[in-house]
């Protein structure tokens, strides 16, 4: 069956450190892999998209890697800040498809 | 980008009633999606609503329970019919402005509580 797995346990890190979140998938052939941020009571906000033929994408303090062999994406936030505390969702758009499917998300807490 | 307004933002409903959620987009978009997010869970796709065609529902969701209208390129409604407490969720409207480009924009959601 198809699965998108993110660490269900919350990630607690100290301000200034790098947060690394993991997304693993099975039985998908994603054309795109995306990361979204969701704050409590709000809709998800798009952060980054990486295509199947890309290995890495950066945007300011954010970095995403995509390994289609391992079927895994890593999402990094460098120099983390308390304001980065949120739930981060991994999402896939399958090749030839138009529906985006979401993982369960990982809650990140950054302590000052 | 796109700015999406949803109404109502929240409501408390009685079992057996129906509620219609409205989604207004500030630009014309072809692809619109309705998601449900149950407490503590991730987003589950209910249906895809493209203008000019019938909505396409995902497994586990049926038109009689979640009728959708898409009268034009900037507006859609989702009705939750004959509600039960299990329908208590956040319902989210989203759009793909690039028409398959991947990036989704979301409304703030409609939080429904069914008593």
The 10 Å Cβ neighbour count of residue B21 is 23
Question: Is the Cβ–Cβ distance between B103 and B97 less than 8 Å?
Answer: yes
**How does pLDDT run across B26-62, given as a tens digit for each residue?**
999 988 999 999 987 889 999 999 888 889 999 999 9
Residue among B48, B94, B103 whose CB faces A49 most closely: B103
Task: Report pLDDT for A97.
Answer: 76
Task: In whole angstroms, give the CA distance from residue B75 to residue B73.
Answer: 6
3-state SS assignment for residue B87: helix
- Tens of pLDDT, residue by residue over A17-63, are 999 999 999 988 888 899 999 999 899 999 999 998 999 999 999 99
Distances (CA, A) of B8 to A2, A4, A9, B16, B78: 33, 31, 32, 18, 11
- A92: burial class by Cβ within 10 Å (0-12, 13-18, 19+)? buried
Question: How close B108 comes to chain A (CA, Å)?
Answer: 4
Whether the predicted pLDDT of B115 surpasses 80: yes
Contact: B104, A31; criterion CB under 8 Å: no
- Residues in chain A closer than 8 A to B35 (CB atoms): 102
**pLDDT at residue B53 in the model:** 82
Q: How far apart are CA A22 and CA A6, in angstroms?
A: 6
With CB atoms and an 8 Å threshold, state whether A99 touches B33.
yes
- Burial B47-79, CB ≥16 within 10 A → b, else e: bbbbbeeebebbeebeeebbbbebeebbebbbe
**Inter-chain residue contact A102 with B102, CB threshold 8 Å:** no
Residues of A in Cβ contact (< 8 Å) with B55:
none
| pLDDT score, position B30 | 87
Percent of chain B residues topping a pLDDT of 90:
80
Are A43 and B33 within 8 A, CB to CB?
A: no
- How many Cα atoms sit within 13 Å of A87 on the Cβ side? 22
Q: Is A77 helix (H, G, I), strand (E, B) or coil?
A: strand
Picking from A43, A103, A104, the nearest residue to B108 by CB comes out as: A43
Interface test with B, best of A35, A44, A89 (most B CBs within 10 A): A44
Separation CA B49–CA A32 (nearest Å): 21
The Cα-based distances of A73 to A24, A34, A49, A82, B105 in angstroms read 7, 9, 11, 23, 21
């Amino acid at each position: 069956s198809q699965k998108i797995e993110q660490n269900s346990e919350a990630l607690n890190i100290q301000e200034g450190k790098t947060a690394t979140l993991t997304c693993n998938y099975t039985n998908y052939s994603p054309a795109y892999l995306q990361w979204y941020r969701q704050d409590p009571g709000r809709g998800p906000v798009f952060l980054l998209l990486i295509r199947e033929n890309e290995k890495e994408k950066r945007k300011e303090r954010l970095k995403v890697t995509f390994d289609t062999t391992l079927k895994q994406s890593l999402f990094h936030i460098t120099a983390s800040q308390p304001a980065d505390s949120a739930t981060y969702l991994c999402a896939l758009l399958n090749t030839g498809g138009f529906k985006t499917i979401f993982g369960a998300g990982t809650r990140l807490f950054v302590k000052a | 980008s796109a700015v999406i307004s949803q109404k109502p933002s929240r409501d408390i409903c009685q079992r057996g009633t129906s509620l219609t959620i409205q989604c207004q987009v500030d630009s014309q978009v072809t692809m619109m999606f309705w998601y449900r997010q149950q407490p503590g869970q991730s987003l589950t796709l209910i249906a895809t609503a493209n203008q000019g065609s019938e909505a396409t529902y995902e497994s586990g969701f049926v038109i009689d329970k979640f009728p959708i209208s898409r009268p034009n390129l900037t507006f859609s409604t989702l009705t939750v019919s004959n509600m039960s407490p299990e329908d208590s969720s956040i319902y989210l409207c989203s759009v793909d402005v690039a028409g398959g480009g991947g990036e989704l924009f979301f409304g703030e959601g409609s939080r429904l509580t069914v008593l």
